Structures are given as structure tokens and as C-alpha cells.
Amino acid sequence: MTPKIIAFDADDTLFVNEPYFQEVEEKFCALMSDYLSKQGLSQELFKTEIENLELYGYGIKGYILSMIEAAMRISNNTISIEIIEKIIEHGKELLQKPIELLDGVEETLAQLHGKYKLIVATKGDLKDQQSKLHRSGLGHYFHHIEVMADKQEINYQKLLNRLEIKPSEFFMIGNSLKSDVLPVLGIGGYAVHIPFHTTWEHEKISHNVEHPNFNTLEKISDVLHILL
């Protein structure tokens, strides 16, 4: 293994993300509690999000639009303007959440910086992800920041082409087996999975991953034992 590029996912790998979405979902369910059970509301919201991914992509703005659309459908278009205003308000709060770095992140980046080219490879809304990275104070560690429309094999291959490296020179670190691990292994790269305590349903897979280029680690600082 001779990686030239070490890539990090951002959300729930470098800093907290999914718990904030779950907080807003709780608020959405509370607003809509007259219409369905909490489970039913969550299912309808998730269904709407997935249907809209192709149009809106990943990120908070698409999530806000999906909440509004789900509320309209669940209520048969009788939802009040006050509830829609509340949904937008909760979405704006999500965009302004403080950045909470995960344990060991900055220390790990500091030790790898200068020894490898470090990049961010993440999904989501471009403006939001750039804002979070700026507010995190981690930006100076990274040679390149890539906000990807999706994380399929073709997206990673395009990234590697721009970076002018072979798959065997690419090492990806992230919390999602579906997005950060499987497609990277599929093109011949290396990947490390660092599980986060909560995962968006869309990012879950139902099978174990076994591959010679793959490791699961307990915490991000454990990658230092592999890379240094």
C-alpha cells in the first residue's frame, strides 16, 4: 500500500451531522402529530427525501424542501402556513448548527499533514459544506475539498482523474460503508470504516464487507497505526 492521497468524509467523520438531522425530524413529527404516528411521519418524510434525491441532491436545503412537500402530502394540502414557517425555521437552525469536531480528528490531521496530501471528499450542498469546513477550523489541513453530487464508483473515478492518481494510491476514510467504502473498493482503492453511533437509513447496508483493502477502526486516530 503506497497511498498518495488520504481522503476524509466530512459529516459524522470529521464533525457531528446526523444527530442534528434527527433533532429536526423530531420537531417535524411534533408539528405533524395530528396527522400520523411518529413512525408513520418518519416513513413519509424518508420516502419523500429518497424520491427527491435525484432532483435536490444531498444536503439541508433539499431536506427542508422535502419536509415541506411531505407535510403537504400528509395533510392533503391542508397544512397551515404557520407550520410551513416553522419547518423553514427549523431548517435554517440546522444550517447554523455549531461545528462539533469528533474526538481525535484535529490531532490525526495534524500528524498526517505534510506526510500525505489530505483531501475532503463529501456529499451535500456545496455552500453548506464549505461553510462547515470553514467554521470547523480544519480547512488548512486539506490540499483539496471535493463536494460530490453522489458517491458512486463513477464519482470517485472522476475525482481520481482530476487528482491524476491511480486507485491504488487513494485511501478513503469515512463512516458510511455504502458511500465511503464499497465504491472505493470497487475501483481498486483502499478504505477505512469508522462507525458513527447513528447512521441515516439511506446509508445502511445489510451485508458485511470483506476485502483485503478494507479495515474497520474504532476511532479516527487509529488510522495513524496504518499510515505512519
Domain limits, CATH 1.10.150.240, in the chain: 18-95
Where residue 104 falls (left for φ over 0; alpha for ψ -120 to 50; beta otherwise) is left
Q: Which residues pair with 116 in a beta bridge?
A: 113
Whole-number average pLDDT of the chain: 95
* pLDDT of amino acid 200: 74
* pLDDT of amino acid 207: 79
Note the CATH architecture for domain 18-95.
Answer: Orthogonal Bundle (1.10)
Residues 188 and 168: their CA atoms lie apart, in Å, by: 6
Model pLDDT for residues 187-203, shown as the tens digit of each residue: 999 999 999 988 878 88
> Do residues 86 and 31 make contact, with C-beta atoms less than 8 angstroms apart?
yes
CATH topology of domain 5-16+100-227: Rossmann fold (3.40.50)
Q: Is 27 helix (H, G, I), strand (E, B) or coil?
A: helix
Model pLDDT for residues 64-114, shown as the tens digit of each residue: 999 999 999 999 999 999 999 999 999 999 999 999 999 999 999 999 999
* pLDDT of amino acid 72: 98
Model pLDDT for residues 133-188, shown as the tens digit of each residue: 999 999 999 999 999 989 999 999 999 999 999 999 999 999 999 999 999 999 99
Domain limits, CATH 3.40.50.1000, in the chain: 5-16+100-227
pLDDT at 2 over 90: no
Predicted TM-score (pTM) of the model is 0.94
> Do residues 18 and 24 make contact, with C-beta atoms less than 8 angstroms apart?
no
